[in-house]
Structure 1
Amino acid sequence: MSAQFGRRLYKGAATAAVAALAVAALSGSQAPGVTVDDQGRRTTSDATPSPDAAADDSATGNSPYYTDLPPLDSPKPSPSAGGTDGGGTTDSDSGIPATVLDAYQQAAAKLQESKPGCNIPWELLAAIGHVESGHARGGKVDADGTTLSPILGPQLNGNGFASISDTDNGAYDGDSSYDRAVGPMQFIPSTWEWAGRDGNGDGKKDPNNVYDAALAAGHYLCRFGWDLSDARDLRSAILSYNNSTDYLNTVLAWLEHYRKGVDEIPDGTGTVPEDRSDEVISTNPSPSTPAQPGTPSTPPRTTPPGTKPPATPPPTTPPTTPPPAKPQTPTESVHHLEDAGTEELSARAGDAFAERISTRAETRSGKGVGKVRIRFAVVGDTDAVFAGGEKVATALTDSSGTAVAPALQAGGKTGEFKVRATLIGRSVTAVEYRAKVTERTADALARTTETELTCVPGGEFAERVKVKATYKGAVADGVAATATLIKSAEDATENDKGPYFKDDEDKPVRTLTGLKTDKDGLIELPKLYADDAPGTYLLRITTAGGATLTVELTVAEAGEETPETPETTTPSPSASPTA
């Protein structure tokens, strides 16, 4: 009862005061918009977002949210975030269901390892989780953290909300006409596509799973290198989730509330908030419309008996002038997006892409539109990212209408993927770019010494074979290689006699696979042994990309003449690998 009374009081006269204190404690004000420059750095501005600010440039598409505020009587700090208060009772109104609380805390812990500079508190995830879904509708989740039924926001069809046409063919929200916010953290499908994460390790990225959604929300809030221990960055991050000052103040109020202590309650026992931002509450229940304050009432007109009232001249209607047409914003004037001359996107694993993606925003007549935002998102099964480590970046078009994405950085995974460029703030056809990550290659191999490699029959070679790989004259690190003892220069099949390596069971092995150059481009082969057959033998080393080196090995008794030497092949670079 006290919690309910506190909430009602807070919603009344105390709302402005307490919310203002929460915001003041964190230097509250409207947070800036965010843009990424050509180096992947974030920049901000203190200006309030313009009416052209896009709904789909937020996690939720600026969907409705719960507006209730914390009770004035904060829970007593408990020994750990997950116990009862000092009196042994729990508060279902402001408590957090056990599984949902665990998801918030696990997500923050993972981000502390992967993005320690973000300094995200789990209480921030809890504050957003409360405001977005009431902690998954009071913790109605299964043991894996998946909601027992889908949590969907209203259709974003422009009728009182933003207008976001369908982007996922209904895959996430079941709506093939318009998008809806989905799951306990209320991601719209277009944002989940690049922001989604697998938080519970089941191999899926499900916006309806609280572990996946909490981790995705944490990564979303930590992008652009934001440090959430800084009040300015904290405001920017929260407003990027839902671009509303009221939303910011509500989240900050719950953040401060949870920082003072929290009750862990059983799943399914939480109280779902009642008030939402899309609900209009009438303050005048009477059907009559009273006079506006400050307007004098008009006394009734009296006419002496038998006197005809004077004729009232007909009212005249002044000529109406049509209001001037509202000028289009830059975003509204964009008709389509075009590729702005992007060349082939290819890089070796671990390298930066030399080419950067350029996209041009144009009017129907083909004129470039400046000062609109283009979002670039990496799509597909790849670990390639933009400079700064994120899979999404936003760039502003210049005076010619062209936006240039930050440089792409290839990861260790090879294969093809796409980068999708979309206009923020209006639904136009996206432009997709194909990119490819190829394996690391070498075009030359050379021994690091010129010492002859000799051994007596049945003995072992004193020196190990050590080679260095290069690509276009530079060190070729991380390049796969194979070493094989071959029959002759013309016959590259594995030899069945002569020198050999040993496996883990000390058995002869004459082919080694899975070799890889180190950071200095070096490979040192295991020790070589000889059987009882004297002669001259060949060891051939081949790398990805086709670089080949043939090394001569001699097996002879001490003092004996060197047996006849078969034709050898000098180190020869192969042709450069096809991009």
Structure 2
Amino acid sequence: MAAQFGRRLRKGAATTAVAAAAVAALSASQAPGVTVDGRGGQATADTTPAPEETADVGATGNSPYYTDLPPLNSPHPSPSASTGPGTAGRSEAGIPATVLDAYKKAEAALREAKPGCNLPWQLLAAIGKVESGQARGGRVDADGTTLSPIIGPQLDGNGFALIKDTDGGAYDGNSTYDNAVGPMQFIPSTWEWAGRDGNGDGRKDPNNIYDAALSAGHYLCRFGWDLSDRGDLRKAILSYNNSTDYLNTVLSWLEYYRKGTHEVPDGTGALPVDRSDDHDRVRPTPSAPATSRPGSGSGSTPGKPAGSGPSPKPPTSPGTPSTPPTSPGTPSTPPGAPSTPPTTPTPPQTPTDTVDHLENAGTAKLTARAGDVFDERIRARAETATGKAVAAVRIRFTVIGDTDTTFAGGESVATVVTNGSGVAVAPALRAGEKTGDVTVRATVVGRMVPGLGYRATVTERVADTLVRTGDAELICAPGGEFADRVEVRATHDGAAAGKVAATATLITSADDAAPNDKGPYFKDADGRAVRTLTGLETDENGLLKLPRLYADDTTGTFLLRVTTAGGAALTVELTVAPAGTTSPSPSADPSESPGA
């Protein structure tokens, strides 16, 4: 059975005080735009993501996380120190070898795929520490897969987000609710589109640290964020788990790891203790003071020594009733009569609550050649049951199926807020190399209404013109090898036609495109003669250089025809003759006069 996060013990009061001070300092240094409520958490207004910044519940479904903060001492203690103040820093700075390797490989991959993101591996390490304690201290096998699945609490709305099952229990073993999964704690619905294969085994496994780290990197780098910019860095972290406390905790570990870290053996990493959902605290009793939650101080009453027992009830002033007086005209409740509980006001409806359905907002037929950007952009309109437009609603567009077609930036999902006309316009689609139909689905974030499907068609790359890049005569002696290779250039509408499929055939005659059974030939991998080559493709510049040609003992002039997708064709003459002779043209007829 999938292992659950275990109950965590509470840290001592000293550690709690240090954590509270560190969080307060980080909160004070925040850029404008994020507010903090009275409990140190993100205010309600800040929990609504900005347009195109984050999905409704982030990567983790706002699951619980470890709240331990790094020690204040340096991560680089004296080499001879094995105990004392420096030991904690060295222990906390150590990252299990395989886990550290996964973070660094993910950084290298993102440097190639999205160089403008400037993702530091230390950010992945900070998130990995907060989400799973670096895969439970590095309890992974040689391939990076956790020795047992890391499954967070079920997201049933009881203190967490409410996310009903989206994967049939495939990732989390829960067919009723979703759970965050793996060392980077992805919820199944996010993993479905964000998951990447980081170790090249052909699988996308959220419990593999290489897959999870690369996926987290791509998730943090979406929307064109530059993580070297403080504002974009904050947005990216909040999109992972939408909490100011979470943001501050990750930032503190990021700075700590930037100061220095080192590799430790797998399975020996320092394990965190406190977690954001740890409610197993000592409750106040008449004989003992209340134990505080992290960040709330020592738990004693201000102005009163800790442990001195409950405060005596203050005396009642003469003439002052012990209960508040009844307002004039308000009937008092008869003794023994049941009191009427106060009614909870019904929260006002949000724009999302009023959405009844989605409509196509004028999107026409979507067609593009492989590698091109679709001219048309997908538009969806959110409407009430009476057809009224609904503004300020988040619409999620998802590219579905086995396709390499994506939105701009290489992502397969985008969230857009409807405008004043109730219309959300998806980012431009870029066709991949896989041809055929692609489905893009639009859904309302936070509202269970039927989605809207759009079909886009990717057609193959084409060329309309083929020309030789050289004009040298192609001559070979019988049984020999042609000195020059045939090279052609393909264009479409005058521009280079790259990655266009092509075929080369040594044809029988100008009027008969069947392969010839004699004359020049290519060689296959085993050295056998072949006279038709398929699966050819022009390069990025539209160039195609054919393999070397050979001649059998048959003399004469022969024809090589090259064709491409889109109908471009070129016929090239090849001459096989003894040295010093010239073969007649393939179209020559002895009965015709020289003039003809």
TM-score category by the smaller chain? 0.7 to 0.9
Alignment of 1:14-163 (within 5 A): 14-22=18-26, 27-28=30-31, 49-50=46-47, 56-76=56-76, 85-88=79-82, 91=88, 92=91, 95-163=94-162
Of the three residues 338, 351, 369, the one matched with 1:348 is 369
Conserved in 2, the CA contact under 8 Å of 1:55 and 1:61? no
> By how many angstroms is 1:64 displaced?
1.3
Conserved in 2, the CA contact under 8 Å of 1:534 and 1:563? no
Alignment of 1:433-452 (within 5 A): 433-446=454-467
Of the three residues 5, 16, 26, the one matched with 1:11 is 16
Pair 1:468–1:95, CA change in 2 (3 A)? closer
Q: Secondary structure at the match of 1:152?
A: strand
Conserved in 2, the CA contact under 8 Å of 1:75 and 1:262? yes
Pair 1:509–1:367, CA change in 2 (3 A)? same
Corresponding residue of 2:564: 543
Distance across 1 between alignment mates of 2:540 and 2:66 = 53
Q: Deviation digits for residues 134-192 of structure 1, max 9, x if unmatched?
A: 22223332222222222222222222221222222221112222221111111111111
Distance across 2 between alignment mates of 1:341 and 1:530 = 60
Which amino acid is 2:588 matched to?
T
Corresponding residue of 2:429: 408
> By how many angstroms is 1:220 displaced?
1.2
Distance across 2 between alignment mates of 1:350 and 1:342 = 21
| TM-score (structure 1 length as normaliser) | 0.79
Q: Deviation digits for residues 527-570 of structure 1, max 9, x if unmatched?
A: 6565554545332222123433344556677477656538xxxx
Corresponding residue of 2:39: none
Conserved in 2, the CA contact under 8 Å of 1:29 and 1:235? no
Corresponding residue of 2:6: none
Q: Secondary structure at the match of 2:147?
A: coil
Work out whether 1:328 is the aligned partner of 2:327.
no
Conserved in 2, the CA contact under 8 Å of 1:536 and 1:564? no
Work out whether 1:208 is the aligned partner of 2:207.
yes
Q: Deviation digits for residues 265-310 of structure 1, max 9, x if unmatched?
A: 44334454332222346676115999999995436999xxxxxxxx
Pair 1:248–1:494, CA change in 2 (3 A)? same
Q: Secondary structure at the match of 1:435?
A: strand
> By how many angstroms is 1:75 displaced?
3.0
Q: Deviation digits for residues 309-354 of structure 1, max 9, x if unmatched?
A: xxxx972699999776432111222233333343333322221122
Which amino acid is 1:242 matched to?
N
Distance across 2 between alignment mates of 1:333 and 1:563 = 76
Pair 1:491–1:279, CA change in 2 (3 A)? same
Q: Secondary structure at the match of 1:343?
A: coil
Work out whether 1:298 is the aligned partner of 2:287.
no
Gaps of 5+ in 1: 33-45, 79-84, 303-312, 567-579
Corresponding residue of 2:276: 277
Work out whether 1:315 is the aligned partner of 2:337.
no
| Between 141-150 and 530-539, the greater mean CA deviation after superposition | 530-539
> By how many angstroms is 1:127 displaced?
1.6
Q: Deviation digits for residues 7-46 of structure 1, max 9, x if unmatched?
A: 742412x334323444566x555559xxxxxxxxxxxxx9
> By how many angstroms is 1:86 displaced?
4.5
Pair 1:96–1:448, CA change in 2 (3 A)? closer
Distance across 1 between alignment mates of 2:187 and 2:467 = 55
Pair 1:561–1:111, CA change in 2 (3 A)? closer
Conserved in 2, the CA contact under 8 Å of 1:23 and 1:253? no
Pair 1:7–1:249, CA change in 2 (3 A)? farther
Distance across 1 between alignment mates of 2:460 and 2:583 = 46
Pair 1:179–1:432, CA change in 2 (3 A)? farther
| TM-score (structure 2 length as normaliser) | 0.77
| Between 276-285 and 250-259, the greater mean CA deviation after superposition | 276-285
Distance across 2 between alignment mates of 1:272 and 1:522 = 57
Corresponding residue of 1:572: none
Conserved in 1, the CA contact under 8 Å of 2:23 and 2:245? no
Identity value in percent: 65
| Between 235-244 and 258-267, the greater mean CA deviation after superposition | 258-267
Which amino acid is 1:315 matched to?
S
Distance across 2 between alignment mates of 1:325 and 1:143 = 54
Which amino acid is 2:16 matched to?
K
Count of matched residue positions in the alignment of Structure 1 and Structure 2: 532
Conserved in 1, the CA contact under 8 Å of 2:559 and 2:571? yes
Q: Secondary structure at the match of 2:66?
A: coil
Conserved in 2, the CA contact under 8 Å of 1:477 and 1:521? yes
Corresponding residue of 1:513: 534
Distance across 1 between alignment mates of 2:101 and 2:74 = 21
Distance across 1 between alignment mates of 2:14 and 2:55 = 32
Corresponding residue of 2:298: none
Alignment of 1:256-271 (within 5 A): 256-262=255-261, 264-271=263-270
Corresponding residue of 2:294: none
Work out whether 1:358 is the aligned partner of 2:358.
no
Which amino acid is 1:399 matched to?
G
Of the three residues 491, 496, 502, the one matched with 1:470 is 491
Pair 1:128–1:52, CA change in 2 (3 A)? closer
Work out whether 1:380 is the aligned partner of 2:401.
yes
How much is the aligned-residue C-alpha RMSD, in angstroms?
Answer: 4.1
Which amino acid is 2:231 matched to?
R
Alignment of 1:498-577 (within 5 A): 498-501=519-522, 509-525=530-546, 533-553=554-574, 558=581, 562=585, 565=588
Distance across 2 between alignment mates of 1:450 and 1:257 = 65
Which amino acid is 2:537 matched to?
K
> By how many angstroms is 1:243 displaced?
0.7
